[in-house]
Structure 1
């Protein structure tokens, strides 16, 4: 009997995007930062003042992590005093849509399990 050539290879998970989702959900402040940006709060000082328990140091780490992933971009204005704002990138908008879909999926799981 002649051996048939296999048509498919084993499918692997998307390593980089899975790590990104895990990292963002692992950062307890990223989702809060996204909410602030959606409300038009895009300056770091205003972000810290708007959220109980958020410190400048932790916010800067969170913003840096999100910039490293390409979710947020930093805009510096050549003004005195200096002004910095953060915006969601086009890629970041796509990523946030995936997070919204994950939240909807979790809500459905909770409903199915009676929670």
Structure 2
């Protein structure tokens, strides 16, 4: 008799959640372009809404990929930055992109 397969680990759930959100990869591209404020992000991408960006950013903060920085100003200013863990995570996404490019070239 085979052992039962254990469901996805926390890291697999994280990858599935982040990659499953079509806006996460866009957020990473924006951060790479030094666009790190939610309002700027919404203005930079057609179809992106404040509600969706806030949900996406919140998820990324919960997983430790991004860090939320709140400045004590009036009006309040909020920026997001990639954590050291997030930088490691993004290397996995880069590898997946390279793999996808290789698959497309082979077709």
TM-score with structure 1 length normalisation?
A: 0.84
Q: Which of 79, 102, 105 is residue 108 of structure 1 equivalent to? A: 102
Q: 2:17 aligns with which of 10, 19, 23?
A: 23
Gaps of 5+ in 1: 1-11
Give 1:111 shift. Answer: 2.3
* Aligned counterpart for 1:42 among listed residues 21, 32, 36: 36
Distance in 2, matches of 1:22 and 1:110, equals 22
In the TM superposition, residue 22 of structure 1 has moved relative to its aligned partner by 1.1
CA RMSD of aligned residues (A): 1.9
Higher-Rg member (1/2): 1
Where in structure 2 are there 5+ consecutive unaligned residues?
Answer: 1-5
Runs of 4+ in 1 over 3 A off after TM superposition: none
Mapped pair 1:66 → 2:86: no
Q: TM-score, normalised by structure 2?
A: 0.90
Q: Deviations over 1:38-71 (max 9, x none)?
A: 0000011111111101110000000000001100
- How many aligned positions are there? 105
**SS of residue matched to 1:105:** helix
Deviation at 1:106, TM superposition (A): 1.5
Name the structure 2 match of 1:99.
Answer: 93
